[in-house]
Structure 1
């Protein structure tokens, strides 16, 4: 589905168009009216100055979608971009969450011991285990402020979560460095997303602070600082061994990391779907 967000006219523009219509005979002026409408639209909101589709799951939420599932978003600026399939969580804490990491029991399990390029572009099936892609994460979080949420289902049956008020990922030249700031809240320690502003590390690109390579030691790719704490992309052996506390390991059967525009965290949970300005197509 390809959605074009409506470009809002000013009151003066609308009045001008209405006066023009009233003064014209519709059977003779149809073409002229169409040209006038298009001219006003171009003057106030050039077509290539707006996204041609929803940028994230929050856009779908604000357009009325309320069912979790696979949706198409357009994070790569302007009309020349192709849609990207994502899993939208429309139920948790008001919905509108774009999932970028999902781990769960499935057969076969997705291989997360991947290269830098794989983590850059994303892999897996968005209906199951997957990594959305570091480049997409950068494009999304560079466009506006996002908050982060971690949801974990323990094998014991307990459900836990952690949120951060602000989350962003830098570009590839900056090694997809992660920044998560602001207050955190939830039912688990903030160590469950331990990063300290780290660059991303994979087995073939080592940017952590450890003397070796944490991705080679732990498996998977992550914003490692050292190899002590969490590793949500580690091999799934009947569950994840997840470390949120020093020398304390829990077994996690399902895990999701997801982002949502920070403005949606306010009580009204509203966003301006027409606020996206984009530059040249990439």
Structure 2
């Protein structure tokens, strides 16, 4: 029976990370483990939960009961209904970064990567490895593409669902190529309209910049693109004579201000009279409360 428990947990490793240690003392099994679910909507946890409860009820050893109660707590969280956004998971005490199932009001549930350690942010863009091309058409940017735990664009339809009820903060984080310094800019009042309005973007002008990025900001940075529709290689909605989105998708005004982060991976940069290369970018959003 106990070996079946270990096997069941190992089989579930497709969906979670699990460390199990087994120790036998005087013929009695003692278990110590750390249960770390990666996805939070999987039916596979049900059988493990049943067995956990059974073992918990039969155990009279304090160390076993303590560990089993911890596992029970984590499994119940895993089986919980999907939350509105990453901040909703954060608000109930979850602090583990990873992929979570989100369900904004009126939306079909979807998965997103949540930055929990920094306060429950939903990641909508990440470029770290350069293995995912961002030169995509309108439908791809609308639906989302890439790997949620790697390079990806979450999807304009999902971003709209996350921001339509409550304007969000939007955070840009870049790693500078020259010295690997972390440059950040955070804006308030961010939301985008639905696809019928071509995902028009809205944001407030006043932002918080860290010291690294301050010298690169011009025209209020991201706010320069306020009220712009989304543009892609096959749908030009910018104010430039050409198409700013010839190699990427974004809310372009007259091309780049703040940064070019969805173009060629090796050409990502911040623009302010001169060009300053960046080697990593991440955009994430969060309800202010």
- For the superposition of Structure 1 and Structure 2, which TM-score range results when normalised by the shorter chain? 0.5 to 0.7
Which of 147, 166, 186 pairs up with 1:163?
186
The residue number in structure 2 matching 1:148 is 170
Residue of structure 2 aligned with 1:131, choices 153, 160, 164: 153
Identify if the C-alpha distance between structure 1 residues 193 and 240 changes in structure 2 by more than 3 Å, giving closer, same or farther: farther
Matches within 5 A, 1:109-258: 109-155=131-177, 156-181=179-204, 183-187=206-210, 188=213, 189=217, 190-191=220-221, 194-216=224-246, 219-229=247-257, 230-237=259-266, 240-243=268-271, 245=272, 247-258=273-284
Structure 1 residue 192, shift from structure 2 partner: 5.2
Counterparts of 1:84 and 1:65, CA distance in 2: 18
What is the TM-score of this pair, normalised by structure 2? 0.66
Q: Quote the Cα distance in structure 2 between the aligned partners of 1:63 and 1:182.
A: 32
Partners of 2:41 and 2:256 in 1: how far apart?
44
Shift of 1:259: 0.5
CA deviation digits over 1:215-245, x for unaligned, max 9? Answer: 11xx1100000124322101112x62232x1
Is the 1:115–1:202 contact (alpha carbons within 8 Å) kept by the matching residues of 2? Answer: yes
Counterparts of 2:191 and 2:124, CA distance in 1: 13
Please say if residues 166 and 262 of structure 1, whose CA atoms lie closer than 8 Å, have aligned partners that are also in contact.
Answer: no
Measure the CA separation in 2 of the matches of 1:60 and 1:249. 39
In 1, the alpha carbon distance for the partners of 2:110 and 2:278 equals 28
Structure 1 ranges of 4+ moved more than 3 A: none
Residue 67 of structure 1: how far off its partner (Å)? 1.5
Instruction: Tell me the SS of whatever aligns to 1:138.
Output: helix
In 1: Cα distance, 2:244 partner to 2:255 partner: 5
| DSSP-derived class of the 1:85 partner | strand
Contact 1:177 1:198 in 2 (8 A): yes
SS class of match (1:65): coil
C-alpha contact (below 8 Å) 1:162/1:185 kept by paired residues: yes
2:113 pairs, out of 87, 93, 112, with 87
Quick check: 1:61 aligned with 2:90? yes
| d(CA) in 2 for partners of 1:192, 1:253 | 19
Q: What's 1:44 paired with?
A: none
Q: Residues of 1 paired with 2:97 and 2:117: CA distance?
A: 7
Deviations 1:134-189 (A, max 9, x none): 01111111122211111111121211100112100011111101001152111222
Query: Secondary structure of the equivalent of 1:135?
Result: helix
Q: Is the 8 A contact 1:121 1:134 kept in 2?
A: yes
Shift of 1:91: 2.1
Secondary structure of the structure 2 residue equivalent to 1:143:
coil
- Unmatched tracts of structure 2, length 5 or more: 1-39, 43-80
After superposition, the CA RMSD in angstroms is 2.0
Cα offset for 1:256? 0.6
Q: 1:192 to 1:158 in 2, by over 3 A?
A: farther
Q: How many residues align?
A: 204
